[in-house]
Amino acid sequence: MKNLGIILIVVGAIMMAITGFNYVTKKEVLDLGKVEVNKSENNSVSWSPIVGAVLLVGGLVLVLTNNRKKIL
């Protein structure tokens, strides 16, 4: 569980720093032999930094509870 907690901490920190990304898709609209018409669309994927904070806190809880079990 400690490894999962560390992964959640790292992913949560990254998601808090980077709140989204953009990508471009190209679609072929018309193809008449040598003539082609393509359309480019900009798409964005975004998330709230709160999601990253929740993952970060969840990872911290997993790491800290794992350490407590070893002490007892």
Count: domains in the chain: 1
Q: Positive or negative CA dihedral for 17, 20, 22, 27? A: positive
Tell me the pLDDT tens digit for each residue of 19-64.
999 999 999 998 888 889 999 999 999 999 999 999 999 999 999 8
For residue 19, what are the domain limits? 2-71
66 or 71, which is more confident:
66
Q: What is the pLDDT of residue 69?
A: 57
pTM score of the predicted model:
0.70
CA 43/CA 46 separation, integer angstroms: 10
